[in-house]
Structure 1
């Protein structure tokens, strides 16, 4: 089976696995315990916090470790809502946000929420965002990179608008962490989330950043871990492994980008024989993560295409793994304004560090063969 679903999750890097085992066996103490073994675990935890803060260009005092991106999104938004810059009950969110964002917004009572669609390039329309602002707007939440089509949202411009209007800005960095240099954008937002398993780290670990200038209140009362941000014993081995994964992937950022641009171009070229049936949802290269390709093939349901590819030994997807179990089209298709029929045609192909050119060509040729047989 050749894997093309790296946007969903990644295999654990072998060097990172060694770090996890070493931390589990040598730094096993509870980081809150006052004895020396606990102190060693606490020292490792704070070293990881400092290293990740340096990679992200933020103050380590605002960095908190969580069980992953979904929990990070939930707790960050709740933290911002506990410490508003001004009174109000209006929130603006991207229509294509991750299901964890929709989940936290759906449970809020008494708030008005405006969901912004994406334009034909898969981007938030800045003018529409500005027109949606009201004196009551207190929070904007827009993901940095869309997990289903890989478009990179204009976080810098959105952050500037929010700052000018005393509005908190949360951004889901799960798909951009380890794939884009975040040092310029991370300090501009009120909060962001990230995850370990998208960058060849372990599952079940991630984090959230809250601007240290924000005096938030804990969502869970009485928690002593992570300065009250969340309850539960801190998973120091997983945090150490995620930090090692982040360090490793950051050294490969530029080389990886060039590789993924070449792989993307190769897939497009291989799909040329059926190009009149293929629609790729993408932005121009400056606003596009090259490793994620969201597309539809006219007249062929994405789930059927995914199963056919699986039969031929290729693992692709029909969108975010957090949404698939609900048997509904990818959220991005609604945000793009696609009809239900066209939305059902959506598939996602995503590359990773082990993806080979010959495998990409093989996948493209297989898709072409499947389409030709289907159409005959």
Structure 2
């Protein structure tokens, strides 16, 4: 199944899943760029994915005793509920805090309940471990950090390894709202590598333009076909991720014989402005001329759509942009060919550069920090 036409095909699939007999769990994915998708998974499907999610513990020499779940509860998201079910499956005690409880109260809870494992997004972890009013003693009981929902940047991994060497960092799993679990990361795999749930998911690696299979071990776009019974079939779904399946991998040290995939990121992150498609790669290429050391995690493009067009705010991490350099960067972008062409498009009302701490970047309802994010529709500004 290819979903290339504004989500129309997926919308039809979602509607069919809502009408299926037997009920189920309706979830929402997307939303950072306005492309929200809804799908209902059967109760049988939801029960079947819990043992898959718990596989990372079945082959690991680690057994958390008290797990604090700081993923987003509600908001039509499934990660919080799935994580809670995994904790129940492995027989640990669960603290269902959620992401909206506030990092200071959560730090107090970690200390009072001697929580040894934290489940959250990397964005939440960055806010928790960098909060000025949280004492290191409050987090001293933590031994494991399991993240999900977005990539964990090299910067955050390096910081935690340096400042919190007792905490082991691992992905809670490679999954999506639409497909369910795709892979798990055992304790012997490095960041970005996962054992594929080959008994539950068929993964094809294809050329993103032709959709033809690439050679074994080569990089390409992932197409996913779920093998688990559900309300509607998900066939060759374009999840938007790229990577490869490793060739000739011997039995892993964890004991698993499942294939190993390498997740390298998104095929391309884009947003539509003034009738044109703007890509993450284009933005980073333009910025590299003035700020060559920027990483995608240092930048966020915020779009404020108004009745007469869209205003852009280019937010850059304050440790990457010198103080009082915003105006100079705005002027440089005005004279740069690609940026100036974008700013002249119909319906593009202007660009403002803002220097901000990463904790101030906008997040989605699921706690993710996307590169492009829409701030909502507002009335025309006066004057």
* Superposed pair shares fold, TM > 0.5: no
TM-score bracket relative to the smaller structure: 0.3 to 0.5
Compare relative contact order (CA 8 Å, sep 6+) and give the higher one, 1 or 2: 1
The structure whose residues are more often strand, as a share, is: 2
The structure whose residues are more often helix, as a share, is: 1
Tell me the TM-score normalised to structure 2 length. Answer: 0.36
